[in-house]
Structure 1
Amino acid sequence: MGSRRSRTPDAPRLPDLDAGEAAAGASRIGNGALAGVVAAFTVLVVVLDYLTGADLQVIPLLVVAPALASVFCSVRQTVSVAVWITAVVVVSRVLMGGTFWGLALSIGFTVLACGLGVASCAARIRHAVEIARLRTAAGALQRQILRPLPVLTDQVFAHGLYEPIEEDRLVGGDIYEVVESPHGTRVIIGDVQGKGLAAMGTGIAVLGAFREAAIREPTLTGVAGALEDAVVRHNASSAQTGETERFVTALVLGFDADGRVEAVNCGHIAPRLLLHGETRVVRLRRTSVPLGMADLSSEARAAECFDVPSGATLLVCTDGVTEARDASGAFYPLDDRLARWASRGPREVLDALSTDLEAFTGGVRRDDIAVLALRGVPVRRGQRPGLPGSGASESQALAFPHP
C-alpha cells in the first residue's frame, strides 16, 4: 500500500467558555423594555392602592416585580428593580402615614422580598453558568475525540457533518472514524445507547478498539468481533461501578481500490447511494444485532459486498437524522430530501442537509447528528493509489469530490 495521504483541516477550535458563561447569565429582556414594564406595573398598583384606600392595601403586590425579574433578568437588572420597588413602597407608606410599627413592618417585608428576589436571580445564574461550562467542556472533549473531517485516503474521500446535542445530558453517543490500513480504508459510524458522559465512555472504548482492529484484522468481520469484545469488556467494567450496560449500533465499511465496498451492519441504519441525480437505499440483507449483544443471537456476524460506481456518493448517518421530528411530530423524510440533492457533490449535500434539518426541526434537536458522505478516489488504469509516479497530485485528489 502507498504512503498515507490523509488530509484534515486544523483541529476544531475549543468553544469559548467565557462566551458560554456570558450567554448563561444574559438577560432575556432589554433594559428599555424592562423599565417600561416595571413603570407600567408600578403605576397600576399605586393607582389601585389609592382607589382602594386604607381598607385594602395593594402596595405590597409590588414585590412581585423583583420576583419575576429574578427569573428573566440579570442580577444588575434585578437589583435595579428591587431598589425601585423599595423606594416606591417607602415613599407611599410615608405619605399615607400610619403607626411606626406598621410602617416598619411594611418596609421590612418589602426589603426582605426584594432581597430574596436578588438572591434567587444570583443563584439561578450561577447554576446556569456551571451547566454551560460543563456542557461546553464536554462538547469540546467529544469533538477532540472524533477525527476532524474531511479525510482523504488512498481509497476514499470522506466528508462529514457532526453536531452534538450538548443539552442537559451534556453529550450524546454518536461516533465515527476513518482509518487507512494495509487492507484498505475502513470506516465506522455508530450510535451508543443513551446520552451523557457514560455513553461517551462507551464510544471512546469502541473508537479505540476500531483504530487498532482496522489495521490489525485482515477481515471486516474480525474488526467487528474486536469491537464486540471491546463493548463487552467496557460493560463488565461499568457494571462493577454501578453504571448501566450499553449497546452500540454500528455500520463498519471497508473500501478497496476497485470500488467495491464491504459492510458489516450491527443494527445500524442502511447507507444511501447518490448517483446521477438519483438516491437509493443500499439494502443489507445480513444485518446483525448491535455491538454488545452478540450473546443474544445464534448467528455470527457476516460481511456483504456492494458496488459504489465512480462518481457516486455513499451517505451514512445516525438516527439523529432519521428520527428528527418537526413541530407536529413527523419524522424527517431523509430519502425524499436526498433525492433533491443527489446531483450535488458530497460537501454540498451535507450543507443542504444541515440547513434543512435545522429548518425542519425548528432548531429543536433531541439527539446528536453524525453524517459521513464518502466518495471513492479515482485511480488511473494500471496504477495503484499512493504509488510514486501515479501522476495525481494531492491538490487534485482533494478537489475531486467537488464537481
Structure 2
Amino acid sequence: MATRADEPADPDRPRARRPSNGAVLLWVVGLTGLILVIGLLTGTGVRLVSLLVFLPAFAAAFADVRQTVFTACWSIAAMALSLAYHPAPDQGDDIAALTLTVIFGVLSVLGCRYRIGHENEMLRLRSTATAMQRSILRPLPLLTDQVLMDGVYEPLQEDKLVGGDIYDLAASPYGTRVLIGDVQGKGLPAIGTAFAVIGAFREAAYRETTLPGLVNALEEAVVRHNAIAAEADEPERFVTALVLCIDDSPTVQAICCGHPRPYLVGPGAAVSVLLDEADLPLGLGSLASAARTVGRFDFPFDTTLLLCTDGLTEARAPDGTFFPLRKRLAENAELPPNRLARSLHTVSRAFAAGHQQDDIAVLALRRATAEGRSPAA
C-alpha cells in the first residue's frame, strides 16, 4: 500500500520527531515580524524582506512536508505584499524577487520530501535491525532453573542495534549453558559470524552432552562460515568466547577461548576467576597443539558471576588509563545483578568521557532461588 512521504506506513514503527504546527506557525510569524520591524527601523525594509526567501529552506531542514508547504506559501505571500507596498523603481526587480521566492519554495518542498523519505527509510532499516537483534540476542533478563542472567548490551555505533558482541543462555538437559563472545571486526560481516555462532550454540547446547563437545560445535560453525566468506573474498574472522555450564552442583564448568576472564563478586570483594588462557579463539582451533580444556570454579549462592567483553575491560580514559574494573566491582559488590551491570556500564562511559571504543556486553549472573526458578524459553 502506498504511503505518504512524510509518514511511515507502520503505526508501530518509531517516528522521527517533528515540530508541532503551532511551533512552526509561531516561528514563521515571529521571524517574519522580526525582519519587518528591523527593516522599518533601519529604513531597509525592501532589502531585508528578501530574507524571507530562505524561510522554506529552514523549514525543510526540520519540519514535515505540509509545514514546509505552508512556510513556502507564507514567504511568497509576504514577499508579494511587501513588494506591492514598497514597489521597486524597476518592476523587473520585483518580478525577479517574487520568481526567486517561488523557486526557492518549490525546491524547499522537494528537498523536504527527499529528507523525510530518507528518514523513513532509516526508520524501516532500524525496525528491521530491531527484529534482527531479537533473533540474535534475546532481551535480558533470562532465567533458568539454575541461574538468573541480566545485564547491558550496547553496540559501538549507536545507530545500529547489533554489533560484534554476542551472548546467549540455554536451559539444556545437562545444565544451563551460557555463552558470551566477541566477533573480530565490525559491520555486517561480523554480524554474519555472530549469527553462525549463536545458531550453532542454540542447537548444540541441547545436543552435546559435554562442554568440549559444545565448544567443538561452535568451532566448526566458525570454520564453515569462514570457508563461505573466503569464497566471497571476504575476510575470515575469529571469535573470542567464554562458555559455561552451570548445574545444581556448586561447581561451574568453563572453557575460555581467548576471552576476558569472568569475575566472582561477593560482599566487598571481586576476584578474577583463573582459567586456562592457552585456548585459542573459535576459528583458530586447528592451530592449537592440544584439545581445549575444561576449567572449574565454585559459584556460591551469595555471589554474582560477572561476564564481559573487552569493550569494558579495555575502556580507556582520554589519557590512556584503562578502566579499573576490579576496583569498581569491589565498590559495587552489594548491588543486585541488574544494577551492578548497569552501574559498571555507566561508570565506564563516564571514565572514557563518553568515547566508546568498542561494543560492550556486561552480564551479571546469580544462582536462581527455589522460589524464582522458571525455565528459559
Q: 1:334 to 1:128 in 2, by over 3 A?
A: farther
What is residue 97 of structure 1 aligned with on the other side? 87
CA contact under 8 A between 1:142 and 1:200: conserved in structure 2? no
Amino acid at match of 1:317: C
Residues 257-295 of structure 1, C-alpha deviations (whole Å, 9 max, x = no match)? 432122222222211111123222223342433222335
The alignment covers a number of residue pairs equal to: 363
Give the match's secondary structure for 2:72: helix
Deviation at 1:58, TM superposition (A): 3.9
Q: 1:313 to 1:88 in 2, by over 3 A?
A: same
Give the match's secondary structure for 1:115: helix
What is residue 395 of structure 1 aligned with on the other side? 371
Residues 119-174 of structure 1, C-alpha deviations (whole Å, 9 max, x = no match)? 212211211111112112212222133345544445x2132224454744452133
Which of 242, 262, 266 is equivalent to 1:251?
242
Which of 13, 18, 24 is equivalent to 2:11?
18
What is residue 144 of structure 1 aligned with on the other side? 135
Amino acid at match of 1:69: A
- Distance in 1 (CA, whole Å) between partners of 2:340 and 2:44 is 70
Are 2:51 and 1:68 aligned?
no
Deviation at 1:241, TM superposition (A): 3.2
Deviation at 1:356, TM superposition (A): 5.5
What is residue 6 of structure 2 aligned with on the other side? none
Give the match's secondary structure for 1:118: helix
Which range is displaced more, 329-338 or 112-121? 329-338
CA contact under 8 A between 1:209 and 1:227: conserved in structure 2? yes
Which of 248, 251, 257 is equivalent to 1:260?
251
Give the match's secondary structure for 2:302: coil
Are 2:226 and 1:232 aligned?
no
Q: 1:296 to 1:328 in 2, by over 3 A?
A: same
Q: 1:396 to 1:67 in 2, by over 3 A?
A: closer
CA contact under 8 A between 2:305 and 2:365: conserved in structure 1? yes
Map residues 156-235 of structure 1 onto 2, 5 A cutoff.
156-165=146-155, 167-235=158-226
Amino acid at match of 1:94: A
CA contact under 8 A between 2:163 and 2:359: conserved in structure 1? yes
Which range is displaced more, 40-49 or 252-261? 40-49
CA contact under 8 A between 2:144 and 2:176: conserved in structure 1? yes
CA contact under 8 A between 1:169 and 1:196: conserved in structure 2? no
Map residues 323-362 of structure 1 onto 2, 5 A cutoff.
333-350=324-341, 352-353=343-344
- Distance in 2 (CA, whole Å) between partners of 1:306 and 1:53 is 83
CA contact under 8 A between 1:171 and 1:197: conserved in structure 2? no
What percent identity do the matched residue pairs reach? 46
CA contact under 8 A between 2:312 and 2:360: conserved in structure 1? yes
Deviation at 1:96, TM superposition (A): 2.3
What is residue 82 of structure 1 aligned with on the other side? 72
CA contact under 8 A between 1:150 and 1:157: conserved in structure 2? no
Deviation at 1:237, TM superposition (A): 1.2
Report the RMSD for the aligned CA atoms in angstroms: 3.5
What is residue 126 of structure 2 aligned with on the other side? 135
- Distance in 2 (CA, whole Å) between partners of 1:181 and 1:175 is 19
5+ residue gaps, structure 2: 1-8
- Distance in 1 (CA, whole Å) between partners of 2:83 and 2:318 is 51
Are 2:277 and 1:272 aligned?
no
Deviation at 1:203, TM superposition (A): 1.5
CA contact under 8 A between 1:254 and 1:262: conserved in structure 2? yes
What is residue 304 of structure 2 aligned with on the other side? 313
Give the match's secondary structure for 2:293: coil
CA contact under 8 A between 1:173 and 1:194: conserved in structure 2? yes
Q: 1:293 to 1:93 in 2, by over 3 A?
A: farther
Residues 170-199 of structure 1, C-alpha deviations (whole Å, 9 max, x = no match)? 521332222244543321111223444433
Which of 96, 100, 105 is equivalent to 1:109?
100
CA contact under 8 A between 2:147 and 2:176: conserved in structure 1? no
Q: 1:226 to 1:254 in 2, by over 3 A?
A: same
5+ residue gaps, structure 1: 1-15, 379-393, 399-403
Amino acid at match of 2:11: D
- Distance in 2 (CA, whole Å) between partners of 1:332 and 1:82 is 53
Deviation at 1:365, TM superposition (A): 6.1
